[in-house]
Amino acid sequence: MFDPIDDEIKIMDEQEVKGTIGLVRSIDLSDPIREFASKRHQIMPETATLQEVVNCLHDAHQPSVLLVKNDRLTGIFTERDLLDKVAGRRLDFDREIVRDFMTPDPQILHLDDPIAYALNLMVDGGFRTVPLIDENRQPVGVIHQRTLLKHIADYFHKEVLNLPPNPSRESKKQHGG
């Protein structure tokens, strides 16, 4: 007996094997965040000057720099930190140390933590960027809110495109790990 659904699935499988269609694996909130982690993170010592860190942000086109002492994560400095803590002040960027302006002991995640943890941490804490560390507290990447949202929007594009222009949720002030 001919089943059109089975026939369609067979055709799709054949096309996927040939690479003519790009089926995307569905999202599961228990999937580890490792596949969304940015390996293009910037690491600097917490004793770096503001000028060095700002140059790093600019040159790398990244929204954050992970700060370390003895190769262990001690803080994060984000574009938001630059705006909230530095901008408008008469500071000598070549003399000021980033440790005085960073977000110390940021919230962290591990590569094997589920996507749900990352989303919860970002929404609850109001973070746009969260550092990822290994068992020795050494930075191994970052997870960006925009990366997760883009991925989720790919799966739920109708729902995202139909959001009201002014959602009822207010963002929290905290930014950065």
Q: Which tens digit of pLDDT belongs to each residue from 120-137?
A: 999 999 999 999 999 999
Q: What is the dihedral of CA 158, 160, 164, 169, to 10 degrees?
A: 150
Provide the mean pLDDT of the chain.
Answer: 84
What's the predicted TM-score (pTM) here? 0.73
pLDDT at 154 > cutoff 70:
yes
**pLDDT per residue over 10-40, tens digit each?**
666 665 555 444 445 566 778 899 888 888 8
More confident residue, 165 or 115: 115
Which stretches does DSSP call E strand in 79-162? 103-104, 129-133, 139-144
**pLDDT per residue over 91-108, tens digit each?**
999 999 999 999 999 999
Nearest partner of 118 among 89, 79, 77, 149, judged by Cα: 149
Which conformational region is residue 129 in: left (phi greater than 0), alpha (psi within -120 to 50 degrees), or beta?
A: beta
**Euclidean distance between CA atoms 130 and 143, whole angstroms:** 5
Backbone angles phi, psi at 157, to 5 degrees: -60, -35
**Euclidean distance between CA atoms 4 and 169, whole angstroms:** 44
56 half-sphere exposure, CB direction, 13 A CA radius: 21
In the chain the domains, ranked by start, together with CATH numbers, are 28-161 (3.10.580.10)
Neighbours of 172 (CB within 10 A): 11
Q: What is residue 23's DSSP assignment?
A: P
